Structure 1
Amino acid sequence: MSVASLCSVPSAIVQHAYTLFLFTKSDIKTTVIPITFLALASAPHLDPTHILQTAFWIWFHVLQFDVSNQTLNPEEDEQNKQDRPLPAKRLSLRTALILRWCLVPLCWALSLWYSLETLYASIALVAFTILYNECATHAGHWLVRNTVNAAGFASFEVGATLVASKDPAYLDLTAILSVCISAGIFATTIQAQDFKDVHGDRAIGRHTLPIVFPAIARHTILVDWVTAFVFVTLALFVSYRFLTFKTVPEDQVSFIGIMFGCHLLTLCPVIIEFTMFDLAAFPFVPIRGNVQMM
Structure 2
Amino acid sequence: MEQAQASKPRKGKHIDVIHHEMYDRLEPGTDMVSLEAYLRRLSERSMKNRAAFQEFGLRGVRMTRHALERWNTRVGPQAGASELEARLTILGCELGRIHLLSKNVGIIDDDIVFIYEIEGTQLVCITFYGRKSLRPALFDMRHLLRFNGREDDEADIQLEPEELAGQLFPPLPYKLLMYRGTRSRYQLEVYDNTETPIFRLVESVQEDARASVFRQDKGAFKPSKSTITALSYLGYKSPGHRGRSRELERDAQHDNNQSNDERNFEPTAGL
What TM-score bracket applies, with the shorter chain setting the length?
under 0.3
User: Higher strand share goes to which structure?
Assistant: 2
The higher radius of gyration belongs to 1
- Higher RCO (CA 8 Å, separation ≥ 6 residues): 2
User: Higher helix share goes to which structure?
Assistant: 1
TM-score normalised by structure 2 residue count: 0.23
